[in-house]
């Protein structure tokens, strides 16, 4: 296990189910022993080592990646696993076993226990030391005529082999830089108006480091793209190519541009009549979920809208079988062409390109809005309860207002490309507002007909639910972020009491969806003026999920860690 500390000796092995709950340790004597677990190594270390005296960990787990990977699918692979030392904790060593070797060891331990034999012991030797090091943050620049920049980022870290995660992104960024520079030098592409900055960084920490060292330059960065796991052979890995949009709290022209270029470049093969075309690989667009360098850049407090290009899921993700034979050169070419075109378009964009992009954004917004309204129409025509109809109508009005507001703010960002484009932007924003009202009128008319068909004189008023404890607390809490960039729980949770850490762990674990993503999105919406209740409303608009208790606790604990202030 990465960052293991030095150890040499023998110790008995004790099997845990997963070792994440206190109840598993009742009646166990772990002092001086090694535990075998498939659970979260950080949590197991906290309990087995820190609290109950174990000296090391054997990990034979395999993270599931539905629907392409269960533990049984990679019996001889090793899962990428690491300790993360923050200071003050009880450190230990550990080894990763393949599922097959883990099962063999578990069977041996069971047999010894059943036969009344001696406990199984292992001999371990770790030759390691911890020392002050440095981060390698590599950067290159294709200079522009101005000081403005577009960022192309790919993370360098992860243990070998990690071919797709993320040698594929690193290599693609290198090839983009080489190809663009060659075309510009040969006069086949015009020198860009804005520079194109390439970053190769340790994931997340390297982006924090670069931004901290160049804080005064951040306002000059117009947009970015993150290349992470982009080369998968889809037949082997089970992956789909995804464009992950930036968070809604950072509205921008960037995702619509990337989506349009995808459609332009990914047509692929012609149909049998030659009258149409289709891609020969899977691809889609997904909402923001974070987890890589774009989650820092796209934070509104940083303000660099950065779509991520990624392949997911991946059967071999974070294992010793993420090797070069899983990489598809044709896929690297597809992704490289897309990212290079995106970066160069933004680097040269002026009035003409901005005008085209603005109209493209409005066209796509209308299509998204139309889908939302048609879905509401579908639900409306199936409801036979007046109260549910009234609630649907009220929710739809709120959602359309939210979508129009987000789109108008996204159109505002076109000024980054064309500062004199006020008239264009105003016209497009007016068109968005008028189009939304027109479409809403159509749904309102259908709603009137539905009410009449149900024999109702009118819709009943929508009853407001009585505020509970969490709603009341959320309405009285205004978080103010103290630092730019998303707050890192991992780096600061040691400042909380064990009871607070345990409560938060259980809150997150109890939620099948959104337990980790909703708090990140909530941070993005925290502007120092919104209450947590208003933030919860916006997160619900963005994700369809509402969890006021989770967000109240999130901001309360961030305040205890000194990362936000609460009014």
- Compute φ and ψ for 264, nearest 5 degrees: -70, -35
Quick check: 336 pLDDT over 90?
yes
User: What is residue 197's three-state secondary structure?
Assistant: strand
The pLDDT-based confidence of 390 (bands split at 50, 70, 90) is: very high
The pLDDT-based confidence of 450 (bands split at 50, 70, 90) is: very high
Cα–chain center distance at 391: 32
The pLDDT-based confidence of 17 (bands split at 50, 70, 90) is: confident
As a whole number of Å, the CA-based R_g of the chain is 27
The two counts, helices (H) then strands (E), for the chain are 17, 16
For position 136, what pLDDT does the model report?
Answer: 87
Average pLDDT, integer, range 470-499? 93
Q: Mind listing the pLDDT tens digit for each residue in 196-253?
A: 999 999 999 999 999 999 999 999 999 999 999 999 999 999 999 999 999 999 999 9
Domains and CATH numbers, the chain: 7-126 (3.50.30.30), 138-349 (3.40.630.10), 352-453 (1.10.132), 469-566 (no CATH)
Residue 165 and residue 180 in contact, taking contact as beta carbons nearer than 8 Å: no
H or E stretch covering 371: helix 351-380
For position 88, what pLDDT does the model report?
Answer: 85
Q: Mind listing the pLDDT tens digit for each residue in 95-129?
A: 999 999 999 999 999 999 999 999 999 999 999 99
Residue 304 and residue 297 in contact, taking contact as beta carbons nearer than 8 Å: yes
- Cα 13 from Cα 35, distance rounded (Å): 6
Rounded mean pLDDT of the chain? Answer: 96
For position 276, what pLDDT does the model report?
Answer: 84
H or E stretch covering 278: strand 277-278
The pLDDT-based confidence of 436 (bands split at 50, 70, 90) is: very high
For position 268, what pLDDT does the model report?
Answer: 76
Least confident of 154-163, 182-191, 297-306, 552-561: 154-163
For position 152, what pLDDT does the model report?
Answer: 98
The pLDDT-based confidence of 345 (bands split at 50, 70, 90) is: very high
The pLDDT-based confidence of 541 (bands split at 50, 70, 90) is: very high
- Compute φ and ψ for 294, nearest 5 degrees: -65, -20
For position 133, what pLDDT does the model report?
Answer: 87
Q: Mind listing the pLDDT tens digit for each residue in 256-312?
A: 999 999 999 987 788 888 888 888 899 999 999 999 999 999 999 999 999 999 999
| pTM of structure | 0.96
- Cα 500 from Cα 519, distance rounded (Å): 16
């Amino acid at each position: 296990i990465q960052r293991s500390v030095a150890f040499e000796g023998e110790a008995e092995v004790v099997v845990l189910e997963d070792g994440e709950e206190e109840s598993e340790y009742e009646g166990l004597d772990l002092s001086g022993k090694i535990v075998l677990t498939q659970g979260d190594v950080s949590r197991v270390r906290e309990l087995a080592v820190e609290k109950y005296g174990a000296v090391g960990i054997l990990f034979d787990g395999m993270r599931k990646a539905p629907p392409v990977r269960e533990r049984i699918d990679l019996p001889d692979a090793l899962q990428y696993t690491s300790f993360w030392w923050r200071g003050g904790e009880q450190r230990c060593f550990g080894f990763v076993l393949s599922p097959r070797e883990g099962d063999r060891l578990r069977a041996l331990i069971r047999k010894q226990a059943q036969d009344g034999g001696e406990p199984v012991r292992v001999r371990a030797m770790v030759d390691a030391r911890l020392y002050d090091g440095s981060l390698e943050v590599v950067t290159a620049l294709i200079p522009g005529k101005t000081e403005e920049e577009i960022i192309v980022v790919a993370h360098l870290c992860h243990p070998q082999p990690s071919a797709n995660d993320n040698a594929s992104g690193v290599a693609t960024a290198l090839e983009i830089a080489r190809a663009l520079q060659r075309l510009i030098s040969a006069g086949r592409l015009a020198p860009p108006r804005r520079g194109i900055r390439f970053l190769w960084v340790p994931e997340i920490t390297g982006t924090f480091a670069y931004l901290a060292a160049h804080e005064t330059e951040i306002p000059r960065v117009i947009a970015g793209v993150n290349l992470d796991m982009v080369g998968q052979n889809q037949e082997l890995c089970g992956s789909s190519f995804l464009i992950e949009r930036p968070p809604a709290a950072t509205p921008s022209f960037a995702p619509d541009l990337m989506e349009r270029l995808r459609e332009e470049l990914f047509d692929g093969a012609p149909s049998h009549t030659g009258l149409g075309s289709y891609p020969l690989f899977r691809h889609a667009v997904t909402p923001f979920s974070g987890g890589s360098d774009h989650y820092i850049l796209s934070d509104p407090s940083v303000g660099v809208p950065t779509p991520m290009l990624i392949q997911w899921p991946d059967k071999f993700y974070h294992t010793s079988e993420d090797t070069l034979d899983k990489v598809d050169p044709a896929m690297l070419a597809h992704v490289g062409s897309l990212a290079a075109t995106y970066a160069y378009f933004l680097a040269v964009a002026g009035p003409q390109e901005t005008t085209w992009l603005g109209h493209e954004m409005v066209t796509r917004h209308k299509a998204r809005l139309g889908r939302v309204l048609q879905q509401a129409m579908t639900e409306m025509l199936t409801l036979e309860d007046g109260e549910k109809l009234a609630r649907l109508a009220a929710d739809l009005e709120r959602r359309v207002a939210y979508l129009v507001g987000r789109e108008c703010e996204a159109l505002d960002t076109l000024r980054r490309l064309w500062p004199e484009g006020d008239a264009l932007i105003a016209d497009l924003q007016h068109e968005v507002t008028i189009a939304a009202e027109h479409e809403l009128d159509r749904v309102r008319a259908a709603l009137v007909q539905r009410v009449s068909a149900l024999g109702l004189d009118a819709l009943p008023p929508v009853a407001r639910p009585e505020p509970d404890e969490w709603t009341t607390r959320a309405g009285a809490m205004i978080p103010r972020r103290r630092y730019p960039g998303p707050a890192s729980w991992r780096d600061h949770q040691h400042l909380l009491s064990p009871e607070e850490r345990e409560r938060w762990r259980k809150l997150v674990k109890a939620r099948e969806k959104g337990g980790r993503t909703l708090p990140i999105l909530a941070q993005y919406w925290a502007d120092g003026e919104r209450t947590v209740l208003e933030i919860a409303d916006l997160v619900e608009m963005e994700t369809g999920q509402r969890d006021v208790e989770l967000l109240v606790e999130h901001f309360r604990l961030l305040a205890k860690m000194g990362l936000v202030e609460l009014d």
